[in-house]
């Protein structure tokens, strides 16, 4: 009798963790992993590459380190859409691939909310090519200032004051003294501005912790501006506060104001909102019990407030463990279990030796939070890549 085929789309935190768990279960099924790159990227660390404090290779490792070739086939290609009626994956290059059970664990994309100019002129922190581009762009702007002394080159604007924004600003402000010295610029000539519609930054944290973060960044020179980005053109960022339209002249604009799930979700005809599907309690798709969705493309409702949980690496890894159990249960003909999210806290980095967060119901900040952040990153490497990967890629610079 032909074995059933389980296909996993995406080798991010959710997809790769699911594969690792499934391989340990040795299901009586053929496993196929699909990803557009041959490496896994620690997307929670992309801001470090964008700011120039870490090389791209430092936050990536080969997918083959996780794939057991005796159980799993790896296909490197870009998914165009899922043919749900035909139970097939349609690729850019490979022929269609049929599946019996499908796990969609594709990543996020930047969300422009229809703001004019963002798709064309804004940069986003979304993958390795995007952050390498940001890094090169900042250096190019500083070099251009040496040629024409146009101070527009010395201004960096970040749209949005959420988690990614703060982590990037923390890394960038740590780097500014070195960048200023390299390009012979007075550090006071460098301007970093953050635009946010409300004064309530970092809504995932309580006010004392959020204010600690904004105060620390302000001490390093970040200027916070209240307003909503209205339009972006080369060299100009327009924003509105109430009825007043203002403009900032900036050589660099980075948009962190929102993300959405993969465009593959919409292209596949799922009922979705911003690329996210409201999944059942067992992570299956309503009307398609053979398909599960986890990570950035899934929406799991928090019973306490009726809103979807934030899409984080933490929830994706927990979903992956549940998905692996349920996929194996499918093969064995057993009942599926519901996903239950256990929030363990959140820590936001503010650079190499500073951070803030809430863990086990307690506020932490400064060096203790930074230490905790690095331990969380190392634990993630173990859970997905294994101990050997953690030893190669882990964070052990606790005193830097």
Count other C-beta atoms under 10 Å from residue 215's C-beta.
9
Distance CA 223, CA 217 (A): 8
Tokens of 159: 């749209």
Distance CA 15, CA 33 (A): 8
User: First vs last Cα of the chain: how many Å apart?
Assistant: 58
The CA–CA distances, whole Å, from 101 to 183, 194, 225, 238 equal 55, 44, 48, 47
- Give the position of tokens 């909102």: 273
Helix axes 13-25, 313-332, angle to 10 degrees: 30
- Give the position of tokens 């922190």: 125
The catalytic residue among 42, 48, 109, 167 is 167
φ, ψ (nearest 5 deg) of residue 389: -65, -40
- Could you tell me which residues come within 8 angstroms of residue 237 by beta carbon, excluding any fewer than 6 positions away? 157, 159, 195, 229, 247, 248, 250, 253
Distance CA 29, CA 31 (A): 6
| 167 catalytic residue (yes or no) | yes
Distance CA 323, CA 271 (A): 20
Sign of CA dihedral 358, 225, 310, 128: negative
Length of the chain measured in residues:
400
Distance CA 78, CA 81 (A): 9
Estimate the share of the chain in helix, then strand, then coil, as percent rounded to the nearest 5: 35, 30, 35
Burial 359-387 (b: 16+ CB within 10 A, else e): beeeebbeeebbbbbbebbbebbebbbee
Distance CA 124, CA 253 (A): 9
Q: Are 110 and 258 in contact (CB under 8 A)?
A: yes
Residues marked as catalytic: 167
């Amino acid at each position: 009798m032909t074995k059933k085929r389980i296909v996993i789309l995406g080798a991010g935190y959710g997809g790769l963790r699911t594969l690792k768990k499934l391989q340990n279960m040795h299901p009586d099924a053929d496993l196929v992993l699909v990803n557009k790159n041959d490496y896994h990227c620690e997307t929670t660390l992309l801001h470090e590459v964008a700011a120039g404090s870490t090389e791209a290779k430092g936050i990536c490792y080969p997918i083959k380190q996780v794939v057991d070739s005796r159980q799993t086939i790896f296909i490197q290609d870009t998914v165009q859409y899922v043919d749900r009626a035909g139970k097939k994956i349609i690729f850019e290059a490979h022929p269609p691939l049929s599946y019996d059970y499908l796990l969609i664990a594709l990543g996020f994309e930047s969300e422009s909310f229809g703001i004019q100019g963002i798709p064309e002129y804004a940069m986003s922190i979304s993958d390795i090519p995007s952050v390498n581009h940001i890094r090169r762009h900042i250096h190019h702007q500083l070099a251009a200032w040496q040629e024409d002394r146009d101070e527009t080159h010395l201004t960096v604007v970040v749209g949005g004051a959420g988690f990614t924004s703060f982590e990037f600003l923390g890394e960038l402000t740590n780097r500014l003294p070195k960048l200023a010295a390299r390009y012979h610029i007075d550090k006071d000539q460098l301007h970093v501005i953050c635009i946010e519609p409300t004064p309530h930054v970092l809504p995932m944290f309580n006010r004392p912790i959020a204010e600690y973060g904004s105060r620390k960044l302000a001490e390093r020179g970040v200027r916070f501006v209240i307003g909503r980005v209205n339009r972006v053109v080369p060299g100009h960022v327009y924003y509105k506060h109430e009825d007043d339209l203002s403009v900032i002249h900036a050589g660099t604009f980075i948009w962190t104001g929102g993300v959405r799930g993969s465009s593959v979700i919409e292209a596949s005809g799922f009922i979705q909102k911003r690329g996210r599907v409201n999944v059942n309690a067992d992570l299956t798709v309503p009307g398609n019990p053979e398909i599960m969705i986890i990570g950035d493309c899934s929406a799991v409702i928090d019973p306490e407030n009726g809103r979807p949980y934030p899409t984080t690496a933490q929830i994706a890894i927990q979903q992956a463990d549940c998905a692996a159990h349920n996929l194996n249960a499918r093969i064995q003909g057993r009942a599926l279990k519901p996903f239950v999210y256990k929030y363990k806290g959140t820590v936001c980095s503010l650079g190499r030796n500073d951070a803030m967060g809430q863990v086990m119901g307690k506020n932490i900040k400064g060096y203790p939070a930074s230490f905790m952040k690095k331990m969380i990153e190392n634990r993630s490497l173990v859970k997905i890549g294994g101990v050997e990967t953690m030893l190669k890629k882990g964070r052990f610079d606790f005193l830097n």
